[in-house]
Structure 1
């Protein structure tokens, strides 16, 4: 059921840097190892509604409805611009941190979740991607879709955790250099702004 082709293709898809990767890396670098893991968790949870929409057939409705796609797209654009502004303004982001508070941990997960759930292209992607790996003529296509979705989510979480931990490994050098801190803050803010422009210009 879970083919090598599916695993390889999924790994390539997950490894490609996008909004979730940028956010996870920024959290791992700015707030430490736990923040990177929490961002990875939030990003993974954020693809769950898109997978559910694909499985339930709602993705086909969104694909057909230009209005639904545009509304979700511009909500995503607005949120990315908010993240760009917040990152640019946050002067304390790279301070030496202790364990994030419970409220801060929840905030990281929620921000990451919103980042992915407000990206309508994910629903369209899964609608086109997952059915290719369902065995033709199978008696249980729903079971196969659920299994494929579960594997994709586990792979997403694992890869994003690695991204966050790699960012954490560079954290000490960042903390010790105010100039590097300022440069990285601008880079991440610019990345979020650029991703918002890319989403705004995207077509279905």
Structure 2
């Protein structure tokens, strides 16, 4: 495992994106346990993209304008839906004291969908992972799986860190209605901005 791969992966994982935003919002509104489910869901959501990259399906997505744009606009619609729910106090910033099994599952599923519905991830992994596999690699598939596993582990650890940080501020945030209103508008605006960025993305 090269140091270059680890550093590059860390930069990619730490960079603010939809998954980070969702994990932070979940930690602020529902606490540390919920943020871990969010981190798990977001991490699980990149598995199909990595599988697509490994199996070459991402190249097909890249080549097909119809497939790419269909996938992309479904993702945009979901981000706008999340923004709307956040403003209505039913989405990522829905305050809950107790996290039951159903709520935990909903948190994880939302995290999965956030990443699954982003076609740029498949294309990113298609371009990213092969860079760290030597031309003379004896078992390239095994190497790709190894790199994917490390990337996923790093994603989960970093996202849990984000979530726990947000959860540590929870009591000071949810007790202030004005702050919560401001946060809901901010997070909703951020989801809208990410949706617009995805809408304008090219293959």
CA distance in 1, matches of 2:128, 2:175: 44
Q: Which residue of 1 aligns with 2:78?
A: 79
Task: Structure 1 unaligned segments of length 5 or more: list them.
Answer: none
Contact 2:79 2:191 in 1 (8 A): yes
| Shift in CA distance, 94/60, structure 1 to aligned 2, threshold 3 Å | closer
1:120 equivalenced with 2:128 (yes/no): no
Q: Which residue of 1 aligns with 2:195?
A: 196
1:32 equivalenced with 2:31 (yes/no): yes
| Shift in CA distance, 85/12, structure 1 to aligned 2, threshold 3 Å | same
CA distance in 2, matches of 1:173, 1:142: 48
Q: TM-score, normalised by structure 2?
A: 0.97
1:132 equivalenced with 2:131 (yes/no): yes
RMSD over aligned Cα, in angstroms? Answer: 1.2
Q: TM-score, normalised by structure 1?
A: 0.96
SS for the counterpart of 1:165 is helix
SS for the counterpart of 2:46 is helix
CA distance in 2, matches of 1:131, 1:201: 26
Matched ranges for 1:47-126 at <5 A: 47-90=46-89, 93=93, 95=95, 97-98=97-98, 100-126=99-125
> Aligned-pair distance for 1:95?
3.9
Task: Structure 2 unaligned segments of length 5 or more: list them.
Answer: none
CA distance in 1, matches of 2:112, 2:96: 25
Q: C-alpha deviations, 1:29-66, integer Å up to 9, x for none?
A: 01111111100000000000000000011111111111
Contact 1:60 1:127 in 2 (8 A): yes
CA distance in 2, matches of 1:148, 1:101: 34
Contact 1:94 1:181 in 2 (8 A): no
SS for the counterpart of 2:16 is coil
